[in-house]
Amino acid sequence: MKIPLIVVHTHGHLDHRLGDSQFQPLPHVEIVPADLAHVRKYFGLPDWPNGVAQLDLGDRTIDVIPTPGHYPSHVSYYDRQTGLFFSGDFFLPGRLIIDDAQADLASANRVADFIRNRPVSYVLGGHIELDTDGKMLPLGSHYHPRENVLQLTKQDLLALPAIVSSFNGFYTQNGVFVLYSQTRILLALGFLLIAVLVAFGMLLRGYLRRRKRARATLT
């Protein structure tokens, strides 16, 4: 049986799947959409986010582990042949953007249970975000001089449940990991902006009233 080139993702953020169109016109290519319905159906994970699915590549099996938290349909991949664990944006050296803290913690525990008795050569995340001094590179930067290595270790992955447990739901730094909720920070900035606008409006109204009163006494 000839296996097609299977294009799967860890999750659906655009920076991870914008290259799909390059594969679309090629023959024998199967692109799996990254939304939850397709991910569950394609891998065979009816009890999402519980269970581990297998992707059979012939003489090679890839385990597919649900890891929602950063993204609702996030999965991680474990290659039994090389011991590589592909963690996408669920776990990488740098920013851990957490959309659903409860789901993320459950994923961290699920993964720790999965790898505990399995060999892991490297844990490979989706981005390099640190330079060789361990300092954070700017978000979205395309130029990474002196960038740090991508790989993390099995020990790091086993420590993830404790790291995620330390998250206050908003912004927490834990070693080289910066955990934050983009949604909550945006919401807070939105409220702050509204508060500044309201305060400005009140100041302006007060100023105009005073000016009107001053004019009235002059005339």
Chain residues that interact with Zn ion, rule: CB under 5 A:
13, 89
d(CA 35, CA 74): 9
d(CA 106, CA 87): 15
The smaller minimum CB distance to Zn ion, of residues 14 and 218, is found at 14
Torsion over CA: 38, 1, 81, 52 (sign): positive
Least spacing, CB of residue 32 vs Zn ion, in Å: 17
The smaller minimum CB distance to Zn ion, of residues 89 and 156, is found at 89
The smaller minimum CB distance to Zn ion, of residues 13 and 38, is found at 13
Least spacing, CB of residue 8 vs Zn ion, in Å: 15
**Residues contacting 201, CB < 8 A, separation 6+:** none
The smaller minimum CB distance to Zn ion, of residues 29 and 178, is found at 178
E strands in the chain: 5-7, 29-31, 53-56, 61-66, 75-79, 84-88, 95-97, 122-125, 171-174, 177-180
Distances (CA, A) of 85 to 17, 74, 101, 190, 205: 19, 14, 22, 37, 60
Least spacing, CB of residue 139 vs Zn ion, in Å: 12
The smaller minimum CB distance to Zn ion, of residues 88 and 161, is found at 88
Least spacing, CB of residue 193 vs Zn ion, in Å: 25
Least spacing, CB of residue 200 vs Zn ion, in Å: 36
d(CA 143, CA 161): 32
In the chain, the amino acid numbered 128 is I
